[in-house]
Amino acid sequence: MRKELIAVAAAMAAGTVFAQQPNPLDAVPDKMPFDIAYGAPVSLERAEAAIAAAVAEAKKRDWKMNVAVVDSGGNLVAFQRMDGAQLASIKIAEHKALAAAMFRRETKAFENGIQSGFNYLITLDGVIGSRGGILLMDGGKLIGAIGCSGGTGSQDEASCKAGAAAVNK
């Protein structure tokens, strides 16, 4: 999908996309995208394990993260702000976790879309266009999501992936 987006954006930049190509948003796929079943809410124990792993990864690299976990209903389960982590990222970490759970996808999908020229995404309620919001899964079901913020999006994502990897089954 990323490649398609880039091709479209390149075409747009060349001023050719609307003139010569069909609007990619007009295609009606047969299947629902991101059709993941919502499961039972993640337990506190598992949420804490995910946060501990994310924080450990950040500590190893000398990063300072805010890390939030929400459950499958989007409600906050646990949160930690590392010493010296930026205050703005309290809300951003929670927002990333919430958006991942509510949209059932990594928040990187929105970052990619917006950076590829799909600016309409900015207007959708609850969207956050920065990577670092990742699903927590169990047996193919979404049980929650983890969100990291404090560094670059790429640092946030690296911390977040370590967190999710520690508990996903």
Kindly state the smallest distance separating residue 130's Cβ from a second copy, in Å: 6
Kindly state the smallest distance separating residue 47's Cβ from a second copy, in Å: 8
30 versus 169: smaller Cβ distance to a second copy: 30
129 versus 163: smaller Cβ distance to a second copy: 129
For the chain, the helix, strand and coil percentages under 3-state DSSP, each to the nearest 5 = 45, 15, 35
22 versus 169: smaller Cβ distance to a second copy: 22
Can you read off the two tokens belonging to residue 146? 């983890």
Angle between helices 2-13 and 108-115 (to 10 degrees): 20
Kindly state the smallest distance separating residue 152's Cβ from a second copy, in Å: 6
Which residues, other chains included, contact 28 with Cβ-Cβ below 8 Å and sequence gap of 6+? none
Kindly state the smallest distance separating residue 168's Cβ from a second copy, in Å: 19
CA–CA separation, 48 vs 56, rounded Å?
12
Upper half-sphere CA count for residue 48 (Cβ side, 13 Å): 3
41 versus 168: smaller Cβ distance to a second copy: 41
> Is the torsion defined by CA of 59, 94, 105, 123 positive or negative?
negative
97 versus 166: smaller Cβ distance to a second copy: 97
Q: Give the other-Cβ count within 10 Å of 53's Cβ.
A: 21
Kindly state the smallest distance separating residue 72's Cβ from a second copy, in Å: 7
